[in-house]
Structure 1
Amino acid sequence: MNEDYYDLLGVSREASTDEIKKAYRKLARTLHPDVNPDPEAAEKFKRVSQAYETLANTDKRRQYDMGGGPGMGGFPGGGGAGFDFNDIFDMFAGASGMRGRSQGPVPRQRRGGDVLRRVRIELRDVVFGTEEQVTFRTAELCERCEGSCCEPGTSPTRCTACSGSGHVQRVAQSLLGQMVTMAPCPTCDGHGDVIEQPCTGCSGHGRRAAERTVTVRIPSGVENGTRIQLRGEGETGEAGGPSGDLFVELSVTDHDVFDRDGDDLVTTVAVPMTTAALGATIPLETFDGTQELDVRPGAQPGEEITLKGLGVTPLRRERRGDIRVVLDVDVPTSLSDEERELLEQFAALRGDETTRRSTSHGGPFRKLRDRLRDL
Structure 2
Amino acid sequence: MNKVPSAELESRMKRFKTQMNVSNPEWEIAVIFSKINQYYFTGTMQDGMLLIPNEGDATFWVRRSFERATYESLFSQIKSMKSFRDAAKSIDKLPDTVYLETETVPLAVYGRFQKHFPFKDVKPVDTVVSAVRAVKSEYELQLMRKAGQIHQHVLEDIVPEMLVEGMSEADLAAELFKVMVDEGHQGITRFGMFDTEMVLGHIGFGESSIYPSYFDGASGNYGLSPAVPLLGSRERKLKKGDLVYVDIGCGVEGYNTDKTMTYMFGNSLPHYAIDIHNKCVEVQNEIAAMLKPGAIPSQIYNQIISSLDDDFLQNFMGFGDRKVKFLGHGIGLLIDELPVIAERFDNPIQKGMTFALEPKNGIKNIGMVGIENTFIVNSSGGESITGTNPGLIPIF
Q: TM-score normalised to the size of structure 1?
A: 0.23
| Structure (1 or 2) with the greater helix fraction | 2
Q: Determine which structure has more spread, i.e. the larger CA radius of gyration.
A: 1
